[in-house]
Structure 1
Amino acid sequence: MIPRLAQSDLLQRLAYFPAVALLGPRQAGKTTLAQLVQINVGRPSVYFDLERSSDLAKFQHDPVLFLEQFANQTVILDEIHRLPNLFPDLRGLIDRNRLPGRFILLGSASPDLLKNTSESLTGRIAYVELTPFLLRELPVADYQTHWLRGGFPNSMLAPTTDISVIWREDFIRNYVERDLPQLGLPASPTQSQRLLTLLANQQGGLLNQSALANALQVRNPVMTSYLSFLEQAFLVRRLQPYYTNVGKRLTKAPKLYLRDSGLLHQLLRLYDTSSLFGHPVVGGSWEGYVLEQIIPLLRYDQLPFFYRTADGAELDLVVESQGKIQLAVEIKLSDTPTLSKGVTVALQDLGNPPLLVVTPSSVTYQLRQNVTVCSVVDLPDQLAKLLH
């Protein structure tokens, strides 16, 4: 079993909060991680899979009476969105016996989609996001395979490329046809598949919502709801632009990325590195892949943005904390990177913060003062040094 970085966050919150929600996309390893921490919570525990009809039936008659018998145990409820009416009952159970670590709730949707958690369990619940495998978590740091296959355990750890491709194809089909409608996405499976494919072809581009709406033949407000839903289901990342008072015209549209590179490549039918490098999306794919190795490692008070002006000054990522840019990041698909004038100007606009240039496999070195070049494998160590 591969240790997950989120495990320490989960245990930390279980030691204080009565309920902890472990959220992330399906098949990211939530159930495995929850069962792993069962032995570390300091009390007996019981697990219920609410997608299993036999477990779901136990909560149909009197869920409060049923759960009261586990007052001294940690109760793990998997796929909690299947029982949205349970949240007020959980609040009552917690208020009558407010012990830390009473409930672990597993779900494939963000707190915004699980609105009942925020409304019913305010002050009683903490959230932990579990992503698919980060490169940092893998016992062998093979970035090429990880980039190509993505981080979902069943795809990354598949014994052959063919098995990985088959798993990802089935995953996308099941997510589009079953999971997204269950979570509440009003789009048809055909619309969802087409939208995901459109986003894949525009990986890392600025959002043009009207163009997407026209392509899908839906109204603009409908497209707004679709994109928000995909973001809250952990499939899409919306990276916002950074605004400053520098007296320049700044880009206002966000960038959109499919979060898992393996699903991106599956949607585009890119099954090996030669086809990937021959496709126009390769640069956007690498950029999105590296961003997903960075953003999950940021602290809660370190916020990610990109920076771009109408004059061409641009940085792929800037990290803000306490109103100041702590770090800038440029992502290069080359082990011999050079910096454009636009990068230099952007750094000057932002007060010349440290710049980290991330490459596929370069050794770590100083390109110039305050500019460090590193590989994606060494990226976490460099982040730890530069982000205090």
Structure 2
Amino acid sequence: MIERTCFSKLLSALQTVPVVALLGSRQVGKTTLALAIETALEKTATYLDLELDSDFNKLTDPESYLSRFSGELLIIDEVQRKPDLFRILRGLVDIRRRAGEPAGQFLLLGSASRDLLQQSSESLAGRIRYLELSPFTVIEIQQADPLASNLEKLWFRGGFPDSYLAPSEAESWHWRSDFISTYVERDIPLMGPQIPATKLRRFWTMLAHYHGQQVILSELGRSLEVSHTTARNYLDTLTDFYMVRQIQPWSGNTKKRLVKSPKIYLRDSGLLHRLLNISEFDTLLGNPILGASWEGFVIENIILTIDDRWQFSYYRSSGQAEIDLVLETPLHEVWAIEVKRGAAPKPKRGFYEAAQDIGADKKFVVYSGTERYPLPNEVEVIGLIEFLSLISNP
């Protein structure tokens, strides 16, 4: 059993607020985590899966049905399928609050982003807390089995539980193939956007080739024979369903002309490798995507480790001065992060120039090794696991 770092946050939230929304992509382990929390809470729980017609029909008259579970935790899975539910939940929460039942009333599980659940933020303001469950992270795998080989396995297979824990590389590959097909053919259309499956898959594959770069949507649109606006809709859809991360450019003050387009990363490295048809780890090591793949893997784990008191962005000037990741800490320090795969990493001149541009308080090169040592100009080389530990305890 790999312990999820989100477990303690979820337990604390359910003891504090009436409604908790646990969001994340399909097959990431939300239901497993939700059912495990029932025992920890020592509270009776009822589970509804709105993808089942039998459970969905129970909410034909949601107010009458949900009123029966006072004093219990009601877990509602795939809640985005019934957005009108949030208005009802607000009234029930307020009734129960007056009756002295303030916390742990509803646990909502959703496969769409918070932005797609605007009804909940509007109707349940002050009554709901949002948490995200990601695929397995480096910290979770390291705590479960601290072997260096597991880090490479996580990078290559990705963090979806069924992919990472598959009994063989072939089974992991087939699972990722099935996941991608099901997502574009069934899951995304079921959850709202009506996008042709073949075009969405082609677009997703094209994005894999842009991994770690600024994407030019007009070029992608022409390749797909769709408009720039439609290509933007495809990108936002994959972002809303936790498949893609868009990192915005640094917005601080500088006299230099900066690149203003977001950088695009596929959030799960295993899905990236499947879309690029990289089926063997040795093949990845010889592929031109190697550096960008490692960079995306490191950056995703960093972003998943920090909390919402931190800000993240990237920096790139028109003169090619660049920082892979800029972190602004809760203490208002600015950290410049360069990601390197090699055993003897050295940042390029553009990194030093960019760090000076943004007034970086600290400068790190995060790499695949384990030693920590200084470089000139107050730059520190640090391993990924040690860096994640550093930012989780700032």
Q: Do both share a fold (TM > 0.5)?
A: yes
1:24 paired with 2:32, answer no
Letter in 1 for 2:124: L
Distance 1:269 1:312 in 2: 30
- Structure 2 distance, partners of 1:369, 1:30, is 44
Letter in 1 for 2:169: T
Name whichever of 81-90 and 198-207 sits farther off: 81-90
Structure 1 Cα separation of the partners of residues 229 and 126 of structure 2: 32
Query: What secondary structure does 2:213 align onto?
Result: coil
Would the aligned equivalents of 2:22 and 2:30 in 1 still touch at CA under 8 Å?
A: yes
Q: What's the secondary structure of 1:17's corresponding residue?
A: coil
Matched, 1:128 2:131: yes
Q: 2:117 aligns with which of 104, 111, 114?
A: 114
Per the alignment, residue 292 of structure 2 pairs with 284
Secondary structure of the 2:114 match is coil
The correspondence of residues 158-307 of structure 1 with structure 2, limited to 5 A, is 158-307=166-315
How far 1:369 moved relative to its partner?
5.7
Are the aligned partners of 2:366 and 2:383 in contact in 1 as well (CA < 8 Å)? yes
Change (3 A) 1:140 1:368: farther
**Matched position secondary structure for 1:84:** coil
Q: Trace 1:148-167 onto structure 2 (pairs within 5 A).
A: 148-167=156-175
Q: In 1, Cα distance between the equivalents of 2:9 and 2:342?
A: 34
Tell me the alpha carbon deviations over residues 278-306 of structure 1, each in whole angstroms, 9 at most, x when there is no partner. 22222211111101110011121201100
What is the CA–CA distance in structure 1 between the aligned matches of 2:314 and 2:134, rounded to whole Å?
21
Aligned residues: 385
Considering only aligned residues, what root-mean-square deviation do their CA atoms show, in Å? 1.6
Runs of 4 or more, structure 1, over 6 Å off, are: none
- Which runs of 5 or more residues in structure 2 are unaligned? none
Alignment partner, residue 140 of structure 1: 145
C-alpha distance in 1 between matches for 2:277 and 2:164: 17
Deviations 1:29-65 (A, max 9, x none): 10111111112235221111222232222222x2211
Distance 2:59 2:192 in 1: 22
Q: 1:245 & 1:114 partners in 2: Cα distance?
A: 34
User: Equivalent pairs: percent with the same residue?
Assistant: 42
Which one is further off, 352-361 or 104-113? 352-361
Q: Which residue of 2 aligns with 1:69?
A: 68
Q: What residue in structure 2 maps to residue 90 of structure 1? A: 89
For 1:104, the equivalent position in structure 2 comes to 107
Give 1:331 deviation, angstroms.
0.4
Give how far 1:12 is off. Answer: 2.1
CA contact (8 A) 1:286 1:333 kept: yes
Q: Deviations over 1:208-256 (max 9, x none)?
A: 1111111111111222222112111111000011022221111111100
- Verify the 8 A CA contact 1:361 1:377 in the aligned structure 2: no
Pairwise CA distance, 1:325: 4.3
1:105-147 CA-to-partner distances (Å, cap 9, x unmatched) read: 0010011112221222222111000100001101124111111
| TM-score, length of structure 2 as denominator length | 0.94
SS of residue paired to 2:11 = helix
CA distance in 2 between partners of 1:286 and 1:9 (Å):
28
